[in-house]
Amino acid sequence: MTALYGGPVIDPHHHLWDLSLGRHPWLRPPEREEREMVFGSLAPIRRDYGVADYRADAAGQNIVATVHVEAGWSSEYPLEESRWLESLDRRSGVARRIVARVPLDRPDAAVLLEAEAANDLVVGIRDIVSWHPEPAKSFARSKDLMGDPRWRDGLRQATRLGLSFDLMLFPWQMTEALRLVADFPDTIFVLDHCGSPADRSPEGMALWRRGLQALGQADNVLVKISDLVAYDNDWSLDSLRPVIEHCIACFGPGRAMFASDFPVAGLHASFAEVYEAFRTVASECSADEQRDLFFATADRVYRLGLDKAATSET
């Protein structure tokens, strides 16, 4: 066992929002509270969550920079989220880079992608493809986005512009995702939330394990080990450990990164609890492997340049 990681940390997945702007329809109270999303009631996070709130949650974790991932900003207002993030006080390193939202099948997707790519903060795109037969548990607007020709044209444009793609899906979509990543070998895909192991039955977890192992064989796919507690509400270190270990085994530390997914993960765990679990499980890795998981992989993929800066200063 190596000592617990104490070096610099990049958090490559979190969200910020100001609900007074009225731009986050998914955070509006439902007509009936039992109409919940897959990770449970959203009531505790139906509040503003800004830079100061994130820093308070992340206190003591040595977070030196973060990547803001699109937070479900309404598609009626394209480009606004990135501009709003630019207006915040980001001197602490929060939202140093952005994964923006562009619905890739929009008729104007190419124009929107060019506008986002022109922003130095924007390094990637996310257009969620997670589809569930129960509408309250589905994030995607269509079941077949990954195979849609117009959507794929948008992904080609994003790739030409040098943008990575954050891939959020459910395990039963991984076979389709395998075809996607094979058809787009020049695209860097980052699989969000370990591939969302939502079905915790033995059959569901076996499906997830097989799909993750197959995706891990594609060199252009990386994984974010994030928000495991969304799908494991009654979690323990013993229940989180095999999921974390399987992600690392499938992708290796050089293609894996720990991330908070706050404030969403805060529905079921504190920031300190999340990172304590990461540090404990990662203590079985070497010091270099731990640095990859907590810092270097995210630094490289999201073009933060912090590792180069640190090296040049020594």
Q: What is the pLDDT of residues 49-70, one digit of tens each?
A: 999 999 999 999 999 999 999 9
Between 121 and 32, residue with greater pLDDT: 121
Reduced DSSP (H G I as helix, E B as strand, rest coil) percent helix, strand, coil of the chain, to 5: 45, 15, 40
Q: Is the pLDDT of residue 34 over 50?
A: no
- Structure confidence at residue 309 as a pLDDT band (50, 70, 90): low
**% of the chain surpassing 90 pLDDT:** 86
Q: Which amino acid is at 69?
A: V
- Structure confidence at residue 314 as a pLDDT band (50, 70, 90): very low
Mean pLDDT (the chain) is 93
- Structure confidence at residue 140 as a pLDDT band (50, 70, 90): confident
8 Å CB contact between 67 and 10: yes
Q: Per DSSP, what are the bridge partners of residue 98?
A: 68, 122
Q: State how far the Cα of 295 lies from the Cα of 273, in Å rounded to an integer.
A: 18
* Mean pLDDT along residues 283-293: 97
Give the model's pLDDT for residue 132.
Answer: 83
- Structure confidence at residue 115 as a pLDDT band (50, 70, 90): very high
Give the model's pLDDT for residue 129.
Answer: 95
Q: State how far the Cα of 224 lies from the Cα of 143, in Å rounded to an integer.
A: 23
Residue 282 DSSP class: H
Q: State how far the Cα of 129 lies from the Cα of 240, in Å rounded to an integer.
A: 24
Say what the pTM is: 0.95
* Mean pLDDT along residues 215-232: 96
Give the residue among 102, 69, 303, 104 at the shortest CA–CA distance from 192.
69
* Mean pLDDT along residues 29-50: 74
Lowest mean pLDDT among 38-47, 145-154, 201-210: 38-47
In 92-211, the DSSP E strands lie at 97-101, 122-126, 164-167, 189-191
Structure-block tokens of residue 276: 């304590």
Q: Is the pLDDT of residue 210 over 50?
A: yes
Give the model's pLDDT for residue 37.
Answer: 57
Please identify which residue in the block is written with the tokens 């270190």: 237
Between 312 and 12, residue with greater pLDDT: 12
Give the residue among 174, 74, 184 at the shortest CA–CA distance from 129.
174
Q: Per DSSP, what are the bridge partners of residue 67?
A: 97
For strands 122-126 and 164-167, give the pairing. parallel
* Mean pLDDT along residues 144-169: 97
